[in-house]
């Protein structure tokens, strides 16, 4: 029993004042169950007046009651430290003596509960978050950004509806050679070193970041609303801070220092395809796994460096073994997003060293050997952790590819695959009779120049092939051979075919457009399902198409295959068209390439002017880059084609409002409400109508709109911040405070609510330390908001911290 009691000891961790600020609303709820009051506030004392200190008693266990002011001051004490004072106003105590002793005990029990919660989420050695707490926080952040994954989502068109950015990054830091450095030393010294590393991490991470320890010598940093560039900068600064950590072994008096390797992954940019179909919990674990693989690659590349997840494929590839027939095994698989058809250059790290050469006059010259490329390879088959590749060009037979050689991702365009190496006799695969990709593309590039029309196909085996686990290699070869034979039988003229990868074919059909061969392909897929029990995935691209040249056909074919992979039912066949371009543009948008996405959406609309999905998405992208008039014009075209498109109506109204067309915006919102009264678009339309009424000082009308929004599915949480702001405008201070706290409970990253609470504390002469804490959190989430920095400067000025206030003002002037 004693051990069980110790496991529930609330004194394991210490509480800080920021903990009480964060859970202020929960404290209010706990005390209000015992004590009715009209309003409240927190006070974080630096130096208590002696008379107030005496009124709390020698151990701060008695509340101070001021009946003439109807005010009660409850000390919040944990581990014999006075952390804060809860001030309840409008109080009538039925039994003052008893209640003044009971209420501090109630507060103490609540603080113990808070400490137990903190213990449950904290690593005991370092005080950082523990792995389960980090995973839960990541899940929460992913759930908040999921509305922004697609450009047509309401959150992307409405930056005020949710105060967070549509991304979240996780960085892992692995201390280099930690086991070796601490080997043979006492455990206490190792723990001291880890604690110092944790302190350095906490001090170097930006406001709003969540540091954690994942176990042993691995730390993590959760960064909401971060871009790839910002994430790399933060990771570099933390890595430098960890490199400055050192400690002296008290037994040997030896000073030990550290370095760290870092790897990061960002959601949603670094997830792809089916990875988005899993639950939030699953996607969080995928992101952590990607970050783990990235930090492993950073260590393999020499340690003490930072890598992003895409860098793993780009520069962390390694030859694991050499196989017969110019085949290789490499260390890149599906887990790092390696794909079939990728091209790599092979180089040897043996000569990546500094050179020291002596001249005949015995003068020493220093330099570094340049990278020397041995070969180029093509990825043929990708598995979870490894892939198999084929050598398509070896610079010199006297310098073969060896185990341990490094890989550098090269452009995989058709130009690089067909040019730059000496012609060789085309070689066909012995089992299937197909050309390899390199030879196929050479022939294709030569023959297409004489053709004014042709089609190119990629035909891929399904990922889950029946019985494949029985004899994976043989079965795949048999399937490819049988599928190739079926293709030969399905066309009147023999198409030219090659092996695009281990599990896919590439097929060239001369003098035929995709539309002309589509019936044959559909019939082929049906025969394949019936006779071979295979449902292939097919992407088709043709020439001519729009302004694409002949060298673009292979890339277009890949995009068509990506389109086909998204189809849920067979036959999974897609012709490169407006929809394929839209799918490609959506992927670019998800990766953060908004301008590239805009160009791809424009191409989709050139291909099909009636593609509403592409036009809606284009308008969202234009809004994202500030081209509001163009966005409104695109949305008007969508509504002209589909007058009942509720989301287009809402987005149109919101865009018009932002460019000052208030009357037209109101009409668009009202039409959206009539078109789909219970939809998310209707919810946001009601919020915008309420805001417009609020701006016109029509508070009663605004409240009606907000109350209607709150009654819709999902509306209660979305509406509370707007109701809080309205209450503040009507000088209903305590109601506003309550609602702002509810808004933060709904969305802990609601920067506007943090800012409003900070302003509320300052405007009413309450504790500026609390205002400072809230203001710092708001600028961490939305550093682009000038008024947030100004509020932080005001909170610092009130505390006579003028130098820090000037720094905050300088940041505000930069916006």
Considering Cα of 301, then 306, then 312, then 315, what sign does the dihedral take?
A: negative
Check whether 316 has a pLDDT greater than 70: yes
Mean pLDDT of 662-690: 94
Mean of pLDDT over the chain: 86
Instruction: Give the number of other Cβ atoms within 10 Å of residue 385's Cβ.
Output: 13
Cβ pair 72, 103 in contact under 8 A: yes
DSSP 600-626: HHHHHHHH-TT-HHHHHHHHHHHHHTT
Given its phi and psi angles, is residue 127 left (phi above 0), alpha (psi -120 to 50 degrees) or beta?
A: left
Cβ pair 193, 245 in contact under 8 A: yes
Please report which helix (H) or strand (E) contains residue 655, including its range.
helix 646-658
Please report which helix (H) or strand (E) contains residue 60, including its range.
none
CATH class of domain segment(s) 413-576: alpha beta
Please report which helix (H) or strand (E) contains residue 2, including its range.
helix 2-7
Check whether 3 has a pLDDT greater than 50: no
Check whether 439 has a pLDDT greater than 70: yes
| Extended strands (E) in 530-585 | 537-543, 572-575
- The pLDDT assigned to 154 comes to 45
- The pLDDT assigned to 273 comes to 72
- Residue 46 tokens read as 């630096």
Q: What is the pLDDT of residues 556-609, one digit of tens each?
A: 999 999 999 989 899 999 999 999 999 999 888 877 788 999 999 999 999 999
Cα angle at 70 between 65 and 71, to 5 degrees? 50
Q: What is the pLDDT of residues 78-104, one digit of tens each?
A: 988 888 999 898 888 888 889 999 999
- Residue 747 tokens read as 């969305």
**Closest Cα partner for 500 from 399, 380, 613, 581?**
380
- The pLDDT assigned to 147 comes to 61
DSSP 454-515: EEEEEEE--SS-TTTTTSHHHHHHHHHHHHHHHHHHHSSSPPEEEEEETTEEEEEEET--HH
CATH T-level fold of 131-315: Alpha-Beta Plaits (3.30.70)
Domain boundaries, the chain: 2-120, 131-315, 413-576, 626-713, 715-815
Q: What is the pLDDT of residues 521-544, one digit of tens each?
A: 999 999 999 999 999 999 999 999
Cβ pair 340, 360 in contact under 8 A: no
How far apart are the C-alpha atoms of 138 and 169, rounded to whole Å? Answer: 9
How far apart are the C-alpha atoms of 108 and 323, rounded to whole Å? Answer: 69
Check whether 415 has a pLDDT greater than 60: no
pLDDT bucket at 6, cuts 50 / 70 / 90:
very low
Max mean pLDDT among 172-186, 270-284, 427-441, 611-625 falls in 611-625
Instruction: Give the number of other Cβ atoms within 10 Å of residue 418's Cβ.
Output: 19
- The pLDDT assigned to 253 comes to 74
Q: What is the pLDDT of residues 128-175, one digit of tens each?
A: 999 999 999 999 888 878 765 555 544 444 444 443 457 899 999 999
Instruction: Give the number of other Cβ atoms within 10 Å of residue 391's Cβ.
Output: 19
More confident position, 587 or 183: 587
Mean pLDDT of 104-124: 92
Cα angle at 636 between 630 and 638, to 5 degrees? 110
Mean pLDDT of 315-330: 92
Intrachain domains 2-120 and 715-815 with the same fold: no
How far is it between the farthest Cα atoms of the chain?
102
CATH class of domain segment(s) 715-815: mainly alpha
- The pLDDT assigned to 676 comes to 93
pLDDT bucket at 471, cuts 50 / 70 / 90:
very low
Mean pLDDT of 801-815: 90
CATH T-level fold of 2-120: Beta-Lactamase (3.30.450)
CATH architecture of 626-713: Alpha Horseshoe (1.25)
How far apart are the C-alpha atoms of 151 and 158, rounded to whole Å? Answer: 11
How far apart are the C-alpha atoms of 797 and 791, rounded to whole Å? Answer: 10
Map residue 515 onto helix, strand or coil.
helix
Cβ pair 63, 73 in contact under 8 A: yes
Map residue 35 onto helix, strand or coil.
coil
Of 45-59, 292-306, 501-515, 628-642, which range is least confident?
45-59
Of 144-158, 400-414, 523-537, 732-746, which range is least confident?
144-158
């Amino acid at each position: 029993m004693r051990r069980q009691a110790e496991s529930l000891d609330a004194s394991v961790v210490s509480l800080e004042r920021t903990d009480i600020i964060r859970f202020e609303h929960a404290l209010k709820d706990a005390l209000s169950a015992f004590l009715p009051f009209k309003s409240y506030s927190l006070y974080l004392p630096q130096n208590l007046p002696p008379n107030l200190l005496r009124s709390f008693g020698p151990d701060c266990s008695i509340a101070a009651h001021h009946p003439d002011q109807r005010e009660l001051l409850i000390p919040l004490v944990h581990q014999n430290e006075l952390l804060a004072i809860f001030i309840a106003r409008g109080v009538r105590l039925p039994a003052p003596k008893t209640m003044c002793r009971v209420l501090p005990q109630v507060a103490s029990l609540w603080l113990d509960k808070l400490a137990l919660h903190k213990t449950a989420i904290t690593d005991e050695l370092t005080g950082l978050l523990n792995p389960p707490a980090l995973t839960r926080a990541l899940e929460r952040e992913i759930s908040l950004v999921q509305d922004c994954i697609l450009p047509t989502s309401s959150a992307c068109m409405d930056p005020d509806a949710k105060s967070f950015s549509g991304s979240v990054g996780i960085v892992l830091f692995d201390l280099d050679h930690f086991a070796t450095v601490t080997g043979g030393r006492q455990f206490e010294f190792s723990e001291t070193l880890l604690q110092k590393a944790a302190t350095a991490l906490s001090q170097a991470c930006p406001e709003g970041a969540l540091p954690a320890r994942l176990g042993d010598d691995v730390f993590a940093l959760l960064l909401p609303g971060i871009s790839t560039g910002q994430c790399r900068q933060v990771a570099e600064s933390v890595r430098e801070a960890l490199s400055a950590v050192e400690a002296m072994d008290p037994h040997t008096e030896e000073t030990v220092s550290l370095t760290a390797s870092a790897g990061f992954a960002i959601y949603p940019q670094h997830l792809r395809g089916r990875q988005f179909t899993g639950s939030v919990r699953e996607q969080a674990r995928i992101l952590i796994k990607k970050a783990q693989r990235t930090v492993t690659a950073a260590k393999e590349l020499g340690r003490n460096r930072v890598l992003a997840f895409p860098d793993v494929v780009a520069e962390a590839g390694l030859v694991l073994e050499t196989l017969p027939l110019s085949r290789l095994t490499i260390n890149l698989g599906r887990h790092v997003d390696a794909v079939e058809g990728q091209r790599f250059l092979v180089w040897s790290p043996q000569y990546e060293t500094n050179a020291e050469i002596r001249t005949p006059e015995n003068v020493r010259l220093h330099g570094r050997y340049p990278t020397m490329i041995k070969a180029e390879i093509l990825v043929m088959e990708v598995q979870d952790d490894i892939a198999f590749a084929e050598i398509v060009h070896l610079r010199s037979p006297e310098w073969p590819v060896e185990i341990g050689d490094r890989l550098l991702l090269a452009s995989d365009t058709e130009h690089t695959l067909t040019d730059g190496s000496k012609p060789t006799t085309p070689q066909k695969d012995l089992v299937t009779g197909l050309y390899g990709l390199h030879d196929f593309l050479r022939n294709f590039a030569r023959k297409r120049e004489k053709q004014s029309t042709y089609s190119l196909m990629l035909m891929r085996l399904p990922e889950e092939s029946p019985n494949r686990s029985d004899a994976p290699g043989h079965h795949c070869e048999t399937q490819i051979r049988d599928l190739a034979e079926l293709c030969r039988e399905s066309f009147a003229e023999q198409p030219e075919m090659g092996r695009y990868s281990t599990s896919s074919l590439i097929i060239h059909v001369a003098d035929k457009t995709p539309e002309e061969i589509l019936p044959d392909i559909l019939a082929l897929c049906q025969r394949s399902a019936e006779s071979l029990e295979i449902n292939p995935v097919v992407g088709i691209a043709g020439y001519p198409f729009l302004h694409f040249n002949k060298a673009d056909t292979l890339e277009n074919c890949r995009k068509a295959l990506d389109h086909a992979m998204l189809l849920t039912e067979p036959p999974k066949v897609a012709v490169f068209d407006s929809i394929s371009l839209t799918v490609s543009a959506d992927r670019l948008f998800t990766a953060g390439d908004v301008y590239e996405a805009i160009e791809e959406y424009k191409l989709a609309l050139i291909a099909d002017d009636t593609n509403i999905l592409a036009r809606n998405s284009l308008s969202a992208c234009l809004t994202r880059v500030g081209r509001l008039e163009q966005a409104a014009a695109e949305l008007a075209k969508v509504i002209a084609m589909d007058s009942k498109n509720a989301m287009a109506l809402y987005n149109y109204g919101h865009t018009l409002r932002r460019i000052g067309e208030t009357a037209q915006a109101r009409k668009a919102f009202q039409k959206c409400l009539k078109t789909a009264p219970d939809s998310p678009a209707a919810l946001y339309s009601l919020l915008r109508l309420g805001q417009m009424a609020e701006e016109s000082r029509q508070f009663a009308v605004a409240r009606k709109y907000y109350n209607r929004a709150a009654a819709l599915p999902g509306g209660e949480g979305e509406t509370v911040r707007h109701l809080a702001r309205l209450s503040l405008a009507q000088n209903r201070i305590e109601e506003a405070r309550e609602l702002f706290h509810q808004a933060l409970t709904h969305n802990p990253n609601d920067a506007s609510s943090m800012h409003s609470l900070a302003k509320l504390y300052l405007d009413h002469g309450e504790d500026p330390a609390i205002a400072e804490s809230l203001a710092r959190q708001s600028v961490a989430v939305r550093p682009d908001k000038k008024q947030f920095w100004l509020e932080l400067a005001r909170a610092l000025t009130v505390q006579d911290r003028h130098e820090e206030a000037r720094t905050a003002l300088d940041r505000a002037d930069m916006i």
